[in-house]
Structure 1
């Protein structure tokens, strides 16, 4: 194959006796195209071996050339399609000090906003087809400085590039749940999926829910059309409602409002500032908690760039969607680099009165505290406001206008601020330490007009004068429309505080002649959840009261005519203090790896009902969550399996449904956590069915 390729690169070797032969048409692409092959054949005609051909032969040659020209004209579409075969750039990515291959490095080019890329294989090699106008190859790998290599695609095929990356301590840190190399995923005792940066930029998702739904085993249901502020995804068939059965992390730090008592995802980081996503669904999930039932999702954010620079982008879409994102970084000293990111987006939504807007800002700093240690600091602020509503469509409304939404005054607003710190240190060739500390405050206010039903024939009258129509029961026969009552509303006002610190160590060692790696750590976490529900006196009210008149009082016309107003107000405070300890040991038994692990959760939950004499109710829970994973390397193929204990703490919704605090004499909380046994087994391999 190599000799034939070389022959194609130098067509003069295919034609003897023509020292001064010059091809009329020639392409410097690495792969020969159909057009190129035809042209090489004509060269034999253009350069005959003898000079004494007869006139008859010359006429025959002329006829052949004429027929060939006609053939070329007839086949014009074929050369055009062949020309889209892009030249190929190939090479390897290695470390600067050891010369070892870097696995999983992203190699890409950017052309007019498009990203074309690949990742290096287990040997550190890559092959990438790039447009002819490409001039810069961008190479990135976690823990290394970014490399930009000048290329000429038309001549790149004549050489193999060797790209050397230099370790950058500023970028090294415990920011990923899993290691970036593909071989580490193959060794994982269970299923896991990584969505690297190159894939994120190619998908161009509007929100993270759209992105996550591309991961096998994940499904979602959205009510805002963008899956941004209110993420609802489930793993392996679990209820996706607000992602309450899934642990969601950002750089390894929990970001759910109150991970123990209220894990519902009413905050979700914008996809614009995410560099990668990892999803763990197997026994390795017990390393993280407290939710170990559904799995773990870890968003990875970028680190400050090493050189001064920045970028900006605008995105537009249907339904008035517009997004602006800008980042500027690399400023600071040799020991410290900082970066700022700003995002603004808005849209009209896919229903009437469903507009939204979001502002998000992030300041990040990486400090080299020593030759083998780094500190990463990140501060983030988020503001969101939308016309979100729970008012759904009746069958009549859906058939008439699926975008119908009569709620002009419903409002959902979010304010969130957070500060994270991640400190990593390598103590020696076999021991490393990682410390995470975090604090966040999250305020969510949702005002919704009370719902009622009217007959479909009254819709026009309602739209012109809401007070002129009479309400009907939801179960009454006939076509109905769900609307607001035009008289009052209610507000669900929730504020969350969360803080914690986690310390973990990874130790590679020997155990009875076997290779082993021990990971052990602990986390102390505290959270507070203030849950209020108040009643407003108009659809536009943004201030309400806890008390309300007796709904049976006929003189109270508003309340008596509104069954939704019978829902009682609420004023409850929840507090949780939790200690978690985890340990796992990976034992290498030749081709077989066994990973036993255990997680211990100890937490106290308290609730104070401020509308019931500020009664205090509490409960302490202690649980041991074991797990065992197996991975057998068969050479290019892995058989894996695992079993672990799934666990979900009692949430505020569950606590209310089961009559939280029924053990009044003892002052305790009569409620248990959800538990499960999760088992899995599978076969994992990678490769290509077709080689070229």
Structure 2
């Protein structure tokens, strides 16, 4: 109660200060914030535009709708190849369960990156269980924004690597506010289909000076899958994603602009996906095979988002935006967990079996389900990972532009109250294998495998001032978070929710400072530097210290019309790196337990460049060229032994797992106005699946790969466009990892063609 009263008072003082700030925002001061200066970001965006990304006092990238539609990717992993410093770990080839890290933050389930949609945290439970088992579909997004460095402390609670925001389609689309529509239909390899439609716009409410907006959007994606189950079962997916928006706003030119927007989004997914990969020998022989032991594996996801945003311009230089939100996610991933041991007394994890198949011949025979093979009655244990998530909160941002003497200020003050929870109510079923078919032996009791609830409640406050004087911009910022964590364990034998067997509570309070600097050497050359405190909170019930680091960066930006270039070096010095045991990391430990990796150093270089050769050479057609390169060097600075499978026994100086040293993406195209062709080449060096040094063992090597994509589109009319693309043109077979269990193939060659209509 004391904390609530304190917070309420702080919010009241913030709002009370609004008129005073408005009075300082004189016309002279506002004039200082010219188009080329850093601007106060839209309260629900991270970057806002390419120009704002260049103006920020820290590394940032903005991918607009034109960029996203160039190759029309439906896999977010392929989109993020265009962002330096981002590391991805593919899993099933379609981007259904993205694994994204930034600057060595770790990739497992994107749990160390602040993920947002329209400025709102979108992971099912961002504080208590941030693993992204639900993820926004990239096909319905109009922009992707990534911020690293000191700018990351604005978004929290995960500030070590950075933040990613996905912007959904605004009411009226991206080309105007009048009633308009968009329809895209495409089909391709492996029974692939995508249908995406949007219809909406704004209209005047008589002569009231107000406008009403509405919009409906529907995305349907499906595929038969490129893997082949030994028994011929399904390996594809079906996703329906629907968004409805309503809006009320003042008409353009109003003395005090204001708007109210309501968003409702729902997603339903069924995917016949598994954690079971292949032994290395089987991968080399038939990489797209799936063992019969995974035939009943299936993921079902239901997700709902409700979001209400009110924005008010208190004066020409002062805006207050408040957003209330609620996310609900239920997911049940029914998947093979382990196999009966040879003695018949227990179970062997599927990761252990595939790591050393010669030591587990009986278990491999069960997984393969060869013709004529008959197992015992207790051969395979399949876990119904049944979980329900809720998150809700309210966040408010006050943005002000004003001047004090020779200094121009762009001040942001924000507060957020947030609560989320993860409810696990899981069971284990036992199956037998007969002639390649799995038959149910025993259905388990719901709640007998896991019966617990993790909860988090957090207050977060942030203040930042962009201070500009002549060619120098200084951006100090400070974030404060106070987080209450609770884990409640209930009985599993028999399952009950009446009286808990154990309740563990903890609290974390953290101050996160940051400082960004930019200096314009010339009108074309800008120096950039920054430092900030990185943080990731422990989970409910964990007894480890929070993940903390000090992060530094410095670099240069060059922009001369058709040519742009940026190079930024960074150092993330971890005081304490955290690893969280999940089934997706291979298991071998108690799911949910967290491990300390001690001090870790991650350094690197991020380079981006773009050149419109057609414009520069005076050609009558465009020749867009771009380069994105990331160099990463990461190692442990302490020695220890851990039950966390990706680490194992670590010696100081060992490399971190799943961090390739080199990543390079080259893109080039020809633009003749009505038609365009583009090519992309992505090169990733090899990486380790387990921490270590020296030569990488075959069973731990994620081999280097070079993937080529092609795309073309033709504007048949001003409102109709034909498009086609081919991903992985050379059909390169590549192993993307050894987790969750066994070797896993990336997507083979996939061709797609379709039609876009605008009306």
Aligned residue in 1 for 2:461: 581
Aligned residue in 2 for 1:148: none
Q: Do 2:118 and 2:167's aligned partners in 1 also have CA atoms closer than 8 Å?
A: yes
Question: Which of 69, 82, 88 is the equivalent residue of 1:214?
Answer: 82
Q: Does the C-alpha gap of structure 1 residues 606 and 540 become closer, same or farther in structure 2, counting only changes over 3 Å? A: farther
Q: Do 1:452 and 1:483's aligned partners in 2 also have CA atoms closer than 8 Å?
A: no
Equivalent positions of 1:468-483 (< 5 A) are: 474=357, 476=359, 482-483=367-368
Does residue 386 of structure 2 align to residue 493 of structure 1?
Answer: yes
Per the alignment, in what secondary structure is the counterpart of residue 366 of structure 1? strand
Per the alignment, in what secondary structure is the counterpart of residue 489 of structure 1? strand
How far is the alpha carbon of 1:359 from its aligned partner? 0.7
Q: Do 1:641 and 1:680's aligned partners in 2 also have CA atoms closer than 8 Å?
A: yes
Aligned residue in 1 for 2:445: 545
Task: Compare relative contact order (CA 8 Å, sep 6+) and give the higher one, 1 or 2.
Answer: 2
Question: Which of 87, 106, 109 is the equivalent residue of 1:239?
Answer: 106
Q: Do 1:454 and 1:472's aligned partners in 2 also have CA atoms closer than 8 Å?
A: no
Does residue 183 of structure 2 align to residue 307 of structure 1?
Answer: no
Question: Which of 170, 179, 184 is the equivalent residue of 2:48?
Answer: 179
Q: Do 1:389 and 1:448's aligned partners in 2 also have CA atoms closer than 8 Å?
A: yes
Q: Does the C-alpha gap of structure 1 residues 516 and 191 become closer, same or farther in structure 2, counting only changes over 3 Å? A: same
Question: Which of 196, 203, 228 is the equivalent residue of 2:71?
Answer: 203
How far is the alpha carbon of 1:336 from its aligned partner? 0.8
Q: Does the C-alpha gap of structure 1 residues 618 and 483 become closer, same or farther in structure 2, counting only changes over 3 Å? A: farther
Equivalent positions of 1:511-522 (< 5 A) are: 511-522=404-415
Question: Which of 161, 170, 190 is the equivalent residue of 1:294?
Answer: 161
How far is the alpha carbon of 1:346 from its aligned partner? 0.8
Structure 2 CA distance for aligned equivalents of residues 630 and 543 of structure 1: 61
Provide the TM-score with structure 1 as the length reference: 0.65
Q: Does the C-alpha gap of structure 1 residues 201 and 528 become closer, same or farther in structure 2, counting only changes over 3 Å? A: same
How far is the alpha carbon of 1:308 from its aligned partner? 2.3
Q: Do 1:391 and 1:483's aligned partners in 2 also have CA atoms closer than 8 Å?
A: no
Q: Does the C-alpha gap of structure 1 residues 423 and 195 become closer, same or farther in structure 2, counting only changes over 3 Å? A: same
Structure 2 CA distance for aligned equivalents of residues 214 and 678 of structure 1: 22
Structure 2 CA distance for aligned equivalents of residues 487 and 683 of structure 1: 56
Aligned residue in 1 for 2:488: 608
How big is the alpha-carbon RMSD for the aligned residues of Structure 1 and Structure 2?
Answer: 3.2
Per the alignment, in what secondary structure is the counterpart of residue 106 of structure 2? coil
Give the greater-gyration-radius structure (CA).
1
How far is the alpha carbon of 1:478 from its aligned partner? 7.6
How far is the alpha carbon of 1:593 from its aligned partner? 0.7
Question: Which of 218, 223, 228 is the equivalent residue of 1:342?
Answer: 218
Question: Which of 450, 455, 473 is the equivalent residue of 1:570?
Answer: 450
Structure 1 CA distance for aligned equivalents of residues 401 and 483 of structure 2: 31
Residue deviations 1:568-604 (CA, integer Å, cap 9, x gap): x211101111000000111112211111110000010
Q: Do 2:338 and 2:380's aligned partners in 1 also have CA atoms closer than 8 Å?
A: no
Q: Do 1:451 and 1:483's aligned partners in 2 also have CA atoms closer than 8 Å?
A: no
Aligned residue in 1 for 2:516: 629
Aligned residue in 1 for 2:277: 392
Aligned residue in 2 for 1:509: 402
Residue deviations 1:450-475 (CA, integer Å, cap 9, x gap): 444999xxxxxxxxxxxxxx999845
Does residue 327 of structure 2 align to residue 327 of structure 1?
Answer: no
Structure 2 CA distance for aligned equivalents of residues 471 and 209 of structure 1: 26
Does residue 506 of structure 2 align to residue 599 of structure 1?
Answer: no
Q: Do 1:173 and 1:376's aligned partners in 2 also have CA atoms closer than 8 Å?
A: no
Q: Do 2:454 and 2:488's aligned partners in 1 also have CA atoms closer than 8 Å?
A: yes
Q: Does the C-alpha gap of structure 1 residues 175 and 477 become closer, same or farther in structure 2, counting only changes over 3 Å? A: closer
Equivalent positions of 1:49-60 (< 5 A) are: none
Residue deviations 1:106-144 (CA, integer Å, cap 9, x gap): xxxxxxxxxxxxxxx979xxxxxxxxxxxxxxxxxx9xx
How many positions carry a matched residue from both structures?
479
Residue deviations 1:129-167 (CA, integer Å, cap 9, x gap): xxxxxxxxxxxxx9xxxxxxxxxxxxxxxxxxxxxxxxx
Structure 2 CA distance for aligned equivalents of residues 264 and 310 of structure 1: 35
Q: Do 1:293 and 1:646's aligned partners in 2 also have CA atoms closer than 8 Å?
A: yes
Does residue 555 of structure 2 align to residue 682 of structure 1?
Answer: yes
Q: Do 2:73 and 2:79's aligned partners in 1 also have CA atoms closer than 8 Å?
A: yes
Aligned residue in 1 for 2:258: 373
Q: Does the C-alpha gap of structure 1 residues 625 and 173 become closer, same or farther in structure 2, counting only changes over 3 Å? A: closer
How far is the alpha carbon of 1:444 from its aligned partner? 1.0
How far is the alpha carbon of 1:516 from its aligned partner? 1.4
Answer 1 or 2: which has greater strand percent: 2
Q: Does the C-alpha gap of structure 1 residues 211 and 243 become closer, same or farther in structure 2, counting only changes over 3 Å? A: same
Structure 2 CA distance for aligned equivalents of residues 471 and 426 of structure 1: 60
Q: Do 1:225 and 1:349's aligned partners in 2 also have CA atoms closer than 8 Å?
A: no
Q: Do 2:48 and 2:145's aligned partners in 1 also have CA atoms closer than 8 Å?
A: no
How far is the alpha carbon of 1:272 from its aligned partner? 2.1
Q: Do 2:276 and 2:336's aligned partners in 1 also have CA atoms closer than 8 Å?
A: no
Residue deviations 1:326-380 (CA, integer Å, cap 9, x gap): 1221276541111101111111222124211101111012211573001121100
Aligned residue in 2 for 1:166: none
Per the alignment, in what secondary structure is the counterpart of residue 526 of structure 1? strand
- Worse-matched range after superposition: 249-258 or 332-341: 332-341
How far is the alpha carbon of 1:219 from its aligned partner? 2.2
Residue deviations 1:298-331 (CA, integer Å, cap 9, x gap): 1111211132232222111212111111122127
Structure 1 CA distance for aligned equivalents of residues 42 and 188 of structure 2: 36
Provide the TM-score with structure 2 as the length reference: 0.59
